[in-house]
Structure formats: structure tokens, C-alpha cells
Amino acid sequence: MANNEVKLHSQSKQIAFESSIVYIVVIFFAILAIIPFWYMFMNATWDSVHVQTHFLLYPKLDGFKSMRENWAYLANKASFDFAIGFKNSAIISVSSTILTVYFSALTAYGLTVYQFKGRKVIFAIIVGVMMVPTAVNITGFYKLMDTLNLIGTKWPLILPAIAAPSTVFFIKQYLDSSLSVEIIEASRIDGAGEFFTFNKICLPIMVPAIATQAIFSFLGSWNNFFAPSILLTSTDQKTLPLMVALLSSDRVVQYGSVYLGLSASVVPVIIVYIFLQRFIIQGVAAGGVKE
Amino acid sequence: MARGAKNNGGHKGLSYTKFGYIFIAPFCIVYLIFSLYPLLTTFWYSVANPKSNTADFWGFSNKDVFYDQYLNLMDTSLYPDEEAFTAATGITYDEYKLVKDYFTVQEAATKYEVLDEDNLQAILDIGTKDNGSGVTLSQDTLNVIQQVKNDKSILPLTESYMANPEDNAYTNLVDWKGSFSDPQIYTQDTLRSLYSDLDAIVHPATASDDSVGEEEVIDQSTLTAMSGFQGIIDALDGELTAEQQAIVDDIAKTIGEDDLKAYFESVLAGDNSVDDPMFYYAVRNLNTASGSSAYGYTNELGIDVTGVFEINSTFITKLNTYLTKNVWPNTIVSLKTFESMEAYAQGEKSVFTDKTAIMADFEIINKSGIAVLKSYTVEGSEITERASTNYSREEAITTLQSLIDSNKESDPALIAGASALGNIKGYYQEVVQSTDNTTSVVDHVKNVKDIYVEKYVSFDGKLDVNQYLNYKKDIGLTDVLSLANYEKLDATMKEDNRNQARAILATTYQDPEVANYGGKVSTYSLNKDGELYFDVDVRNGGSDEVVIVGGNTLQEQLDFITPYYEQHLINDADIIEGATTDEIRDGIKGMGGTDRFDINEAYSFVKFRMINAERQINNPSGILDKVDSTKEYIMTGGDNFKYIFTDSTTRNTVFGAFATTATLWIMGFVPQILLALILSNWFTDNRLKLKGLSLMKALMYLPNVITAVTIAVFFRRIFSYASGGSLSASQIILRKLTGHGYNFFTNPWASRWLVAFINFWMWYGNTMITLIAGITSINESLFESAQIDGANSFQTYTKITLPLLRPMLLYTFVSSLIGGLQMYDIPKNIINTSAFINFNGTQIYSLRTVLMYVNEIAFGAGNNKLIGRASAVSVILFIVTTILSIIIFYLMRDKDAAKAAKAKRLARKAVK
């Protein structure tokens, strides 16, 4: 008995030791994850001369003046136009997200509810094309957009969002487990049309899955760089990532301004993340993340 | 339940199925149009070589402007001379040059932001201040600049230049700029002379004193062997006067020792190195103080104490010589100080931005007492060398400090103004290789003086098509250089080329008897494809001596030649049929052919001519393909692939990009998956009872949601080396810690590790969360029973967790691989064009991934777009991704499950 107690005691000691090591490592990585952003935000408040000569991890208390100067420099020198970038990114991301979730839900619903011929094959194909690297068709895509006269417009970045195989896949998984056919039957008996049933009755049921997918679709579109960098040519069409890319040019030598520009592009995402992090992490856990 | 519903629905259910098609239709249509069709066209382009950089492809609405800009009709391969040019176009070179001038000026205007308000203000801020050498800006000049600034037009300046090319606002600006000595450059010059002084001391041209052998190097053993050294120690041990003691203490203090004698003893015992500069310093100063040196010795208090300390030992002189000649350079080199001095002198390091480092370097040099630094006085912007060669360390340091400081803070208006002037000077002197190689913008502007080309040029950074069209109208070339006219010229040129090709083919198709003029025809050849060539000494002859025998088709050629060949050529037909070129040559020689004939040369010459002519007939070259064709585009079929695999440079570049991508991925992925495995195991370990996990998870996942571009730019910024006088975070820290900076972007592996780290940092949180989900979904009872069976945690992990985690690991692997092979955002925005790495003997960018390469050759700058090759590389990427995914699936498949499934299938078959 006494022997057991000793054993238990030593075991709990061992666990306490292990836990503290784990805490140290975990906290280290947690800090590592946020320190760059911290550095970015803090330095955005300082004037460039300070940033370029000191390693600063605290804000300038009366930093508004230097921030205003930094901001003015960005607009004048770096052709970094936050408002335009934000507007373009918002238009593209919001519309492509709406298209993605609506049409993916529609497709997933069609594949789940209706027993038509070839649905299994089509679903298998959709799963298969999730594996296709999306960027390999860029030359063909460019040529097609050129033929359709869409280069330099937002359409090439919005329209293809209708067909998002991975989103279809995950909404379908959700529907398989949570859509009951009785509801549809009941709706039909009440004389509702199929589209009405989908839009008014089933779509609300899908909200949890749609919300998760919407977040990832939005982030994917918001952070997208490769396609916009090729398809958008003029300054007034540039999305935020394209604006940000300008900040790495060696012509922009004011570091304070650079950090301010970077911070401006990070803050919206962080705010969204603070509110939605629970859903995002659940979504990742469910494997619902792209790339 | 679903099954029940189906039965229940009956015929009614059937009528609903059509909605299934309707519902999935938008997805399918959009997928087909926007993903599948482009994918297929990419495959097609990879073998079909679209002429991709034509005006059409790039969607120019004003194709004539595109041609005006990129096509040069004065190219002598189009029209051999001005006469031909004028005959075709109806204008002279001079008139045509007006168009080219426009683009030269436009390009310069784009490059130098001469109308930038800040720049102009900087010039105005100089005012009438002296630039240090007596030159000032005149009031007139300032007025002109003011006008330029007000009007937002460069015209006033150009007009001033045109009015009097010898003396005007522009020449005034250039003079000012020319005689302005940039403090940075000035200081650099000063340092350069200092460096050469040091160099002369470190590497003396000749060894003067020679009581010691030249090759000898002093080391611990030679020192011990020298009895004289013990003598010095003994002398120090003896009675010293107060003055002598002061000197000894002074020396000891300077080298950071308490007791000079004890220090010397420790050197003798080998506890301190002979190579230490401090040792040299001590010996040297002891030597000078003993009066045997040419240099006087001034102590810390500035009192001349030469000769006071009389250890009149010849040994110490000898030792001094030793050290000077041998040890000293080694010491310096080992300290790297000397090299870093060179870097400042060569301008590789900036004396401004590397201020801390340079001071530290001087400190080392000074401390070791190895160099006699010149000292300088600073008054305003004047720096003068002081006459005295004696110095004290503090004084030298202070002087340098002030030299650097005062220049950094020296009139910022002048420095800013000088830099702004650089832009204006650059703009006017920009040399663009368009019409010829030597013309500056000023000359171009002169050419079109009458209407001032600059009036039409856009200074906003890019070509303004409407302004250009106005210009074109005003110079009266709208009609001449219209699209219709370009096309007409193109058609004419094509027709000419086609006719010429026909003529060539016609002359090569000749009766061999006729061609045999002069009896010089000596050889025939027939290759394996049955093409027969009849040749007249190719090396000496021109093209019209080469005769190809045959018709337009192979059959015609054979029919034509057979009788002739049977009659004249060879008795032994075996030589020809299936013969190699060498065998044919032997056969020909046997018939009395000449040795000088090289069948390969003849073969390729004739073949080239034929192929070229045929190509010209089928697809003649006109003037417009000058802007959209290079020989790359002539390739067809699988030539893109063949080229990628056979042309060694291209092959290395393409596969180097693949290797780079894979390397970057692996370098990031390995630590990413390892850390994720460890963390996920901890996070799911119930024994540890960790709190605050969701917050930690949220923090670790954060980098993954942030725009990759932002992160890349951020890392580029904090790791960049000094640029334009500014220091990045990493350099500030490095300099604090090590005294000097480190350029991460010139070392290929440093920059690769940086990218790998970013990828790791952005993705381990994601992988961790996926794995946690995987572990959590494993049935708890499995772990419990394992624990009851006495398995330890390691066994539980390897026997239960890992096998059951396989699907998740597979998912992670494949998705990371697909993402990794498409790596673009981060390396692209790290923008590293300075680090190269050797791949199979070809220098490739250390950070250029496959997609970056594709993007560069298909959509990059310049008008040579390799759409075909880019598509081929994309196809290779597609294939590689597919193959690797399949391999991973295969390697990580659940073997037992696969076996079971197979057994089931077999069983089912057997039953049937």
C-alpha cells in the first residue's frame, strides 16, 4: 500500500515535470507565432529613422504623427493604395465566396438527394480533381481569358469560384450525415418546388458546413496572389496582396512605412481571426482547408 | 433511411432525378470552362507552340502602337538599307526615327521619376548654396526648376537646354552635381587611402632587416628557444625607475593585463598566444620606448617618453622585426579586420550604415597598435589630414567618429538635392538600345525638337496611348504606320520571301549533268532517309554550287536519281542501302571522291537550305513576326519537351527549378511534420492535464491565415541587408551581437533556410490541428487496454497512434506536397535575384521555384514569351505531382485493409 503511494507520488512528480517542459515548448512556439506580428505593429508606430537603427518591441506612445507620415509616404512613394487594394480584394473575395458556397451547396445537394445516373462517377471525379494542382493550367487559363477579353478585369478571379471541388466534397460529407430525407418529402407534399425546397428549407440546415467553407473560401481568395499577379495589370485593379508585394521593392526604403503597410494588411485578417478562430480551427480539424 | 426514401418515392422519385442534373449543371459547366478546358489547352500549347507574344495574344487594342514600340523596321534583316526601307514604307530613316525617339524618351521618363515633387523640392532646397567646391545653382536654374515643378512638365528645362546648349539650367545642374563631392564617397576615398597605408604595412614590399631568416615564422617553440626573451622578462623583474614602471604599467593597461611580466611569462609558457595582437603591441611599444625604434612613443598622457626606458636589447628589436614580418599579417588576417577594412575601402560596406562595425574594426586595429592611422580634422565639410603621423588611440577613434558623424549629419539638403539631381541627369543621359546604341535622351529630344516630344510623353510611369497617338498624328505618321500598312508591309515581305524560297528550291532542283559544270562535282551522298545530295565542294563554294538532286517528294527524288546513280555511282549497292554516312564517304572515296569533302557539312548545309526554303514557302516570314518570333517558335510537336530534355542549359534550369522547389518543400516539411507530431501527441495526452490549449492552438495556427505575401515581404524586410542607408531588424541585432552584419540574400542556402523556415512556421499549426483531430478520433478504449497490457507511452504511440493516424498523415503528406510543388508566393516575394546555386554546372537562382519559372517565361518582362515551353513545364509539374501523389498513396496504403479487400474480391469471384 505504502509502496503504491510512493509510486503514485513519483508518477505525479514525473507528470508535473513533463507538463512543465511541454508548457515551455508550447509557449515558446506560441510566442514565435505572434512575435513577428508584434514587431510589425510596434514598428509601424515609429518613424523610419528609429526603425532603421533600433530593434524596437514597444510602441511609440505618441506615434500618431509618425504613423501619419508613414502612411503618407506609402501613398506617395510606394503607390501602395490601401483603400483601392482593400476594395478590390473585398469585391473579389466576397463575391467569389458567395458563389463558391452557394453553388457548392447546390452541387452537393444535387449529388446527395437525387438518385440520378452517374452521380457516383461524378462524385469520384470531383474527389479526383481536388488533387489536381490548380496552377498548372495557367497558360491555358490566361489565353482563354484573353480570348474572352477578361484580362485586367475581376471576372477571371470570381467566376471560376462557382466550381470548387473541395467545398463540394466537404458540404457533401456534411449532408450525408445530417440531411434527413423526410424534410424534403414533407416539403414536396406541401407543394414546394425543388429550388424552393433547397433555398428555403435545406440551405438553412447546411449553415454550419457552409459557414466553415465560407471562411476558408474567403481566406483563400483574400490571400490569393499567383493568379491576380498574372491577370490583373493596372494599378486600380490591384488586390491587397499585390499592393503588399510592392512593399518589398528596394525603392521603398522607409521601414516604418513598410511595417505600417504590412500591418494594415494584417489587421483585418487578425480581427476576423479573433472572432472566428474557433470555427476555423474546427474546420481545419475536419480537414476543410485548402492547399 | 435513404434507401427507404427511394422506394417510397416510386415513380414520383424518378421524375425528380432530372433536378439532380440541373443542380450540378452550373458546377460542371464552370469547371469544364474554367478549369478543364484551360488544362487541356495547356497540354495542347505544350506541344503546339502558340505564337504567344503577338499583339493579338496580349490583347492590345492598338496593335499599331505595339508595333511602333517593339518592331524596328530599320533592322537590316528586314530591309537591307535605307533605300529599300524607303521604297517599302515611303518614309526616310529620319522620319521613322521620330517614332523610335518617342519610345526612348518615354522609357527614360518611366525609369527616372524626374517630375517627382519631392525630388524637385530637394533641388529647390539646395538653393544657391555652395556645393563645397564653389559651384552654385544660379537663380535662373532655380526658376526653371520651380517652373518645372509648377507646370508638372519637364519642358521648361528642355527648352532652356535647346535655347543654349552650352550654358543653361541643365548644364548648371550637371556641373553642380559633377563637382559635388558626396560625403559618403569622400569618406570612402579617405578610407581607401587609409586601407592602402595598412596594406603597405601588412604586406611590405621588401624585407629590410635580415638578421632573421625570411621564411621563419615565430611560434611558441622558437620563442622559447630564444634566450633573449627570457632576458626581457628578467629586465622587467629588475629594478625599474618610476618612469619606466609607468611605461610598463601603461603598456600592460592598454593590452588589458595587470602585470606585463606575468603576461610575458604566460606567453613563454604557451598560455597566451604569440599570435595575439596584444603581444605584438606590447613588444612594439617596449621596443619604441627603449629608443631603438624610428617611431617615438607617446604615452597615454601625451608625454613623449622615447628613450626613457632603456632595455637596450638588440633582441627586442629582433623580435619586433620577426613579428612585423611574420606573425603580424597572420594575426590581422585571423582577426578578419584587415579584410573588413578592404570591404569599406571597396565600398562593399557603407561607412554610414556599418558605422558601429567600422568603429569596432578600428578599435581592434588601434588596440593592436599595428597601424599608424592618419588623423584628420573636420571643419564643416572640409576634412583635412593632419601633418603629424603620431596619434593616440582615443584621438584616432574620436576623429574617425566625427569624420563619419559629421558627414552623416552634414547638410542633408545638399545630399538630398544631389541625389535628386541624379535623376534628372540620368533621364537626359539615358542610353537606350533602340535606334542605335549611343544616343541619349537629350539627343532624341533634339531630333524632334520642333514639336518637343516631351509634350506628349507621360511622366506618370507608363505609356499613355492617347498621347502617343496625338504625337504620331502631329509628326504625320499616322497613315504610314497604320495597322493596315503594317499588315500590307508584312504581306509584301511574306510574298517576297516566298518567291525567293521558290527560286532557291528551283535552283537546287537541277539535272546533275548540268550541275556538273567544270567537272568539279565530286561526291554524292544518300542518307538513310533516302535523300540524295549531290555536292560541289561546299567549303569553297557559295550556295549556288550546291546541288540537290531530287523532286519535291521523296519518291520523285528517288525516281529521278535511280538511273543516274545506277549508271555512274557505285557498283556495289550495299554501300548505299542502309549505309552510314561514314560508309558512304568511304564508298565515294573509292570512286575517286576528294578527301576534302565533309559529308556532314554538306548534308547539314543542304538540308538547312531546303528546310528553310520549304518553311518560307509554307509559312513565309514577314515583318511582324520580328516582334513575335524567335527561333524557339519554329518548334513543333514534342519539341518543347525535347528541348527541355536535350538543351543542357534549359534542362538544368527547368530541373533546377524542380530541385529547388522540392528542396524548399522538404526543408520546411520535415521539421513541420515532426513538430506537429510531437505537439499533437502532447496536446492529446490526458495525463498531462494541460490548460489553455485552445488559446495555444489558436496562436500557433495564426500565421497560416495571414496572407503569405505579407509574411514574405515582412521576412524579406527584417532580413534584408543594408539598403539605401537603412538597417533591418536582423542586421541591427547581428551587429550588436557579433559586430558585423550578414547578408542572408547573397548566400543561397541562407535564403533557402529562410524560405523553409517561413513555410514551416506557417504550416506546422495546421498540420498539428489535423493530427490532433486524427488522434482524438482514435477510440479511447484502445489506449486504455494498451495501458492495462503494460505498454509504455512510446509503445502505445508507435503501435496504436501512428498506424491509426495513417489516413491523416497521408492527407497531410499529399496536400502539403501538392501545395509545396506549387510554391510561389513566398519565394517570389522574398525577391532574391542575387543568390545563385550550381545545378549540374548551370547557375540557377537559389529560390526560383517551378511556378516562378513558368510565370517568368510565359508572362515575364520583355517581349519574348515562351508560352509553349511554359506549358510544357506546367505539364511536367502536373505529371510529377500525380506520380508523387500515387507513390505516397501506395507507400502509405493500409496493407492489411488492401489484402482483406483483395481476399473479399477473390472470394466473391469464386462464389460466382
Q: Considering only CA atoms, give the Rg of chain A.
A: 25
First and final C-alpha spacing in chain B: 30
* Residue B669 pLDDT class (50, 70, 90 cuts): very high
Instruction: Say yes or no to pLDDT of A26 above 80.
Output: yes
Q: CB contact, 8 Å: B496 with chain A? A: no
Instruction: Say yes or no to pLDDT of B642 above 50.
Output: yes
pLDDT of residue B608: 55
CB contact set of B102 (below 8 Å; sequence gap of 6+): B448, B453, B456, B457, B468, B471
**Chain A residues inside the 8 Å CB shell of B37:** 140, 144
pLDDT of residue B13: 45
Lowest mean pLDDT among B227-231, B290-294, B811-815, B902-906: B290-294
B588, B523 contact by CB (below 8 A): yes
Mean pLDDT in chain B? 68
pLDDT of residue B156: 82
Q: Closest approach of chain B CAs to the CA of A39, in angstroms?
A: 9
pLDDT of residue B612: 66
pTM given for the model = 0.57
C-alpha cell at B618: 509554307
Alpha carbon distance B660, B850 (integer Å): 8
Instruction: Say yes or no to pLDDT of B46 above 60.
Output: yes
B842 membership: H or E segment, kind and range: strand B842-845
Lowest mean pLDDT among A37-41, B503-507, B538-542: B538-542
Q: What percent of chain B has pLDDT over 90?
A: 9
Residue predicted with more confidence, B892 or A289: B892
Length of chain B: 912
Q: CB contact, 8 Å: B811 with chain A? A: yes
Lowest mean pLDDT among A133-147, A253-267, B41-55, B510-524: B510-524
CB contact set of B310 (below 8 Å; sequence gap of 6+): B244, B290, B291
Mean pLDDT, residues B578-586: 45
Q: B524 - beta bridge partners?
A: B534
Query: What are the respective helix, strand and coil percentages of chain A, to the nearest 5?
Result: 75, 0, 25
pLDDT of residue B163: 78
Alpha carbon distance A54, A43 (integer Å): 10
pLDDT in tens, A218-251: 999 999 999 998 888 777 888 999 888 888 766 5
pLDDT of residue B864: 57
In this predicted complex, what is the ipTM? Answer: 0.91
Instruction: Say yes or no to pLDDT of B299 above 80.
Output: no
- Residues 827-866 on B with a CB inside 8 Å of A are 828-831, 851, 854-855, 858-859
Q: CB contact, 8 Å: B50 with chain A? A: yes
Highest mean pLDDT among A49-63, B165-179, B559-573, B749-763: B749-763
Mean pLDDT, residues B516-530: 39
Instruction: Say yes or no to pLDDT of B618 above 50.
Output: yes
Instruction: Say yes or no to pLDDT of B869 above 50.
Output: yes
Region at B578 (left for phi over 0; alpha for psi -120 to 50; beta for the rest): left
- Residues 185-244 on A with a CB inside 8 Å of B are 185, 194, 198, 219, 222-223, 225-226, 229-230, 240-242, 244
Mean pLDDT, residues A187-199: 86
B547 membership: H or E segment, kind and range: strand B547-548
Encode B589-611: b = buried (16+ Cβ within 10 Å), e = exposed: eeeebeeebbbeebbebbeebbe
Lowest mean pLDDT among B125-129, B536-540, B614-618: B536-540
Give the CB-side neighbour count of residue A38, counting CA atoms within 13 A.
11
Instruction: Say yes or no to pLDDT of A291 above 60.
Output: no
Alpha carbon distance B489, B502 (integer Å): 20
* Residue A106 pLDDT class (50, 70, 90 cuts): very high
Mean pLDDT, residues A59-87: 81
Judged by CB atoms closer than 8 Å, whether chains meet at A122 and B24 is answered as: yes
Residue whose grid cell is 558512304: B584
pLDDT of residue A155: 92
Residue predicted with more confidence, B321 or A284: A284
Instruction: Say yes or no to pLDDT of A108 above 60.
Output: yes
Q: Closest approach of chain A CAs to the CA of B350, in angstroms?
A: 14
Which of B40, B717, B728, B761 is the best residue to mutate to test the A interface, defined by the most A CB atoms within 10 Å of its own CB? B717
Q: CB contact, 8 Å: A35 with chain B? A: no
pLDDT in tens, B67-77: 787 788 887 77
Q: Out of B21, B22, B705, whose CB is closest to A269?
A: B705
pLDDT of residue B342: 58
Q: Closest approach of chain A CAs to the CA of B828, in angstroms?
A: 9
pLDDT of residue B265: 80
pLDDT of residue B12: 46
pLDDT in tens, A125-170: 988 888 888 888 898 898 888 778 788 889 999 999 999 998 998 8
Q: Fill in the amino acid letter for B825.
A: D
* Residue B16 pLDDT class (50, 70, 90 cuts): confident
Lowest mean pLDDT among A39-43, B588-592, B593-597, B665-669: B593-597
**Chain B residues inside the 8 Å CB shell of A181:** 1-2, 4-5
Mean pLDDT in chain A? 84
Alpha carbon distance B276, B332 (integer Å): 9
Q: Out of B30, B38, B696, whose CB is closest to A30?
A: B696
pLDDT in tens, B104-156: 788 778 777 778 777 888 888 887 777 666 778 888 888 888 888 888 788 88
Mean pLDDT, residues B411-430: 75
pLDDT of residue B239: 67
Instruction: Say yes or no to pLDDT of B659 above 70.
Output: yes
State which residue of chain B sits closest to A156, comparing Cα positions: B34
pLDDT of residue A92: 95
* Residue B304 pLDDT class (50, 70, 90 cuts): very low
Judged by CB atoms closer than 8 Å, whether chains meet at A131 and B690 is answered as: no
pLDDT of residue B639: 67
Mean pLDDT, residues B594-610: 44
Alpha carbon distance B528, B597 (integer Å): 19
Phi, psi of B323 (to 5 degrees): -65, -40
Instruction: Say yes or no to pLDDT of B661 above 90.
Output: yes
Residue whose grid cell is 495589370: A233
* Residue B191 pLDDT class (50, 70, 90 cuts): low
Encode B649-661: b = buried (16+ Cβ within 10 Å), e = exposed: ebbbbbbbbbbbb
Give, as one character, the DSSP assignment of residue A199.
Answer: I
pLDDT of residue B241: 65
Mean pLDDT, residues B769-778: 85
pLDDT in tens, B82-94: 888 888 888 888 8
Lowest mean pLDDT among B623-637, B687-701, B879-893: B623-637
Lowest mean pLDDT among B296-300, B498-502, B729-733, B763-767: B296-300
* Residue B579 pLDDT class (50, 70, 90 cuts): very low
State which residue of chain A sits closest to B772, comparing Cα positions: A285
pLDDT of residue B290: 54
Instruction: Say yes or no to pLDDT of B49 above 70.
Output: no
